[in-house]
Every structure is written in C-alpha cells, then in structure tokens.
Amino acid sequence: MPTLHALCRAVSPAMLDCELSFIGREPIDLALANTQHNAYVKALRALNVEVVELPAEAALPDSVFVEDTVLLFDELAVMTRPGAQSRRAEVASIEAAFSAHREIIARIFEPGTLDGGDVLQIGKRVFVGLSQRSNQAAIEQLSACLTPFGYQVIAVPMQDCLHLKSAVTALSDDTVLINPDWVDVDYFKDYQQIYVAKSEPHAANLVRIALTASTSSASDMESILMPANFPETEVLIRAAGFALHTVDVSEFQKAEGAVTCCSVLFYV
C-alpha cells in the first residue's frame, strides 16, 4: 500500500526578508520559527507521515514554503513557476528531490505563473486560484498536463488573500473548510461546507493527513493538522467529527504562511 510522505525544508536564515502581500511586516523570531518548524515535522511524524527533510536554503527567504514549488499527483509531478520572482530559484532543488519519486515531471513555463498554494486537489478535481501569483496561462498549461490523466482543472477567482488555500481547503473528499469572504462558495457547491469563524479569517488553511489515498470521509486513517490560534474554528471542525491536531505556526503566519505551505504531501 502506498505510504504518505511529506517533503519539508528547514527555515532559511533569510526568512525575515520574505515576500508579503496582504499583511504588514512584523518582527519574526527566527529561533522560534526553527522550534515551530521542528514541532511541525514532529507532528507529521506522530501522524505516521514519512518526512523527508531538505537543508535550509540560506539565500532564499521563502524557501521553507515548499508547497509553492511543486504539485504532486500520483501519476506525475508538476514543477511550478512561482509568481514572485524572488521564489523562482527554489524550484530546482525541489525538482532534484522529486526526480526519484515520479517518472513524469512537467513544468509550468513563461508566461505562466503558479504557486502550489493556489492548487487544491480533491479527488480528480483540481481547483486553481486566479490570484496575484497564479495566472490563466498557467492554468491552461496545468490543464493540458492533467487532462490526459482524468483530472478536471477548474479556475477559481478569489480576492483579499494570498492563495486559494488561504481561503479554502479540504477536510475530506466531501467536506471543505472555507472563508466565504475570500472565495465564491458556489465553486464548492458539490461539497459540504464548514465556514471559518468570522473572527478567524485565516483559519481555512489546514493539512489533511489521509494515510490512504482514497478515503472519502473522516475515519481513523485521517487526521487534520491546523494552526493552534483559531480556537473557534477548531471547535466547529471537531464538532463535525474530524480528528484534529494543532501546531503553533505564529512565525510562519507573520511570513504569510500557515500549515499547508510547509510541506508537500505525496504517496510512494
């Protein structure tokens, strides 16, 4: 049976110079960021995820946010072309790490730009946010890569946040957690929807740990990893029956990241 793996990368000492789009700059405690990253990796391991860790990239401030550099499907990997120029050099070392795991490696190319944070896969549907980072050209390229494998790529307009997965992620194959102010909920009308608490607009980003590739609803093979500072939304998710684990990611939130961005999940 394929096992769930996660690729992570240690925090760059340059993270203080990270890109920011929708939030202001606040001091980041680098030592605390390292501690939180270690705890994040430990939490994944405790949930039976096989974690592969890459060393830090000293010159690339946002390189801990590996999710933005690659999309991993069972059949292929798609290397992205991040929307922020400062992040494009992150891709090469990630591609090297994945070449052993996928025979087919596709690439997004100019004029396409795509951040993995804008890509939400639920089964054979692949929702892609039309954001400040990801454009229509990339969506067309992605569609050409994925359609032969039976995936449907759906462009989703969004506003007021960095990535589609800032606004919506999947709790299971049939339920999403969503912020209705940032994305039109009609795009997700085929799913049960849990709205984030009004006072916690950033709470929609969570990692779904599905140890087997095809579990459609909450089960003992699934758990959810979410930031520790969204207690009202946490109550809603628990009430819906999902097993939940929290991690403190305050320093990554100051860099406009959250929990999905610090790993790339894939089955081997």
Contacts to ligand CIR by CB under 6 A? 18-19, 21, 62, 65, 67-68, 84, 87, 117, 163, 255-258, 260-261
Nearer Cβ to ligand CIR (251/256): 256
Nearer Cβ to ligand CIR (82/218): 82
CB 141 within 8 A of CB 119: no
Query: In degrees rounded to 5, what are phi and psi of residue 145?
Result: -70, -40
User: Which one-letter amino acid corresponds to residue 129?
Assistant: G
State the pairing for strand pair 175-178/192-195: parallel
Q: Give the H or E element holding residue 37.
A: helix 30-46
How many Å is the maximal CA-CA distance in the chain?
Answer: 46
Nearer Cβ to ligand CIR (218/261): 261
- Within 10 A of 7 (CB to CB), how many other CB atoms are there? 21
Q: How far is the CB of 169 from ligand CIR (least distance, A)?
A: 10
Closest by alpha carbon to 86, among 64, 62, 70, 67? 62
Q: How far is the CB of 95 from ligand CIR (least distance, A)?
A: 18
Q: How far is the CB of 166 from ligand CIR (least distance, A)?
A: 7
Q: C-alpha distances in angstroms, 219 versus 223, 224, 268?
A: 8, 11, 21
Nearest residue by C-beta to ligand CIR? 117
Is 161 labeled as catalytic in the residue annotation?
no
Instruction: List the catalytic residue out of 5, 8, 145, 163.
Output: 163
CB 60 within 8 A of CB 16: no
Nearer Cβ to ligand CIR (65/242): 65
Is 5 labeled as catalytic in the residue annotation?
no
Q: How far is the CB of 189 from ligand CIR (least distance, A)?
A: 25
Residues identified as active-site? 163, 261
